[in-house]
Amino acid sequence: MIKKVSGDILLSQAQAIAHGIAPHDHFNQGLALSLREHFPAMAKDFRHYCHQQNPKAGNAWLWAGAEGKIVINLMIQEAAKDQNAHPGKATEKYINGALKDLRKIIEKENISSLALPRLATGVGGLEWNEVEPLIQKNLGDLDIPIFVYTEYHKDEKAEESLKAA
């Protein structure tokens, strides 16, 4: 069940937060930066993962923190060409691949609720009307609450109901 909410995704009561990045991302912009500030170990673990696995765009990587929060990093953008370059833009192909991986992770790990931002609409460079149908197609039939944060309001808790429909 997908429910649109507004507020600060970092205050979500969902078991997991998923967000968009690029492989080898530095977590230095947007929601990724906020997540790095809240969970510095995640960014460190992601760098280690990337050095070992050299992931490609279109995949997802799960990180579980000591406090019990799960962050799923969706690699929806092309990796930067070099250390000083910005990541490439998001594409429908990468978003679909990452969302398929996300679905597998949700099912395998028995994740009970998920929060998502408006994927790929900031640094990713896409329009929401291009991305929203991809989320619906890949996750819409899951029997868990999925909260899509369509509007950001700093330090404001969204109205989330964790009960499945």
Per-residue pLDDT reduced to its tens digit, 65-104: 887 889 999 999 988 877 667 788 899 999 999 999 999 9
Measured between alpha carbons, how far is 134 from 28 in angstroms, rounded to an integer?
A: 26
Please give the average per-residue pLDDT across 127-143, as a whole number. Answer: 97
164 has a pLDDT exceeding 60: no
What pLDDT was estimated at residue 122?
A: 87
Please provide the DSSP assignment of the chain as one string.
-EEEEEE-GGG--SSEEEEEE-TT----SHHHHHHHHH-HHHHHHHHHHHHHH---TT-EEEEE-TTS-EEEEEE-BPPPSSTTSPP--B-HHHHHHHHHHHHHHHHHHT---EEEE-TTSSTT---HHHHHHHHHHHHTT-SS-EEEEEEE-TT-------S--
What pLDDT was estimated at residue 163?
A: 62
What pLDDT was estimated at residue 79?
A: 87
| CATH H-level superfamily of 2-152 | Leucine Aminopeptidase, subunit E, domain 1 (3.40.220.10)
For the stretch 21-68, pLDDT in tens is 999 998 988 899 999 999 999 999 999 999 999 999 999 999 998 878
For the stretch 101-133, pLDDT in tens is 999 999 999 999 999 999 999 888 999 999 999
Q: Residue ranges per domain, the chain?
A: 2-152
Confidence of residue 162 (pLDDT cuts 50, 70, 90): low
Measured between alpha carbons, how far is 145 from 162 in angstroms, rounded to an integer?
A: 6
* Half-sphere exposure (Cβ direction) of 37: Cα atoms closer than 13 Å: 8
What pLDDT was estimated at residue 120?
A: 94
Count of C-beta atoms within a 10 Å radius of residue 148: 22
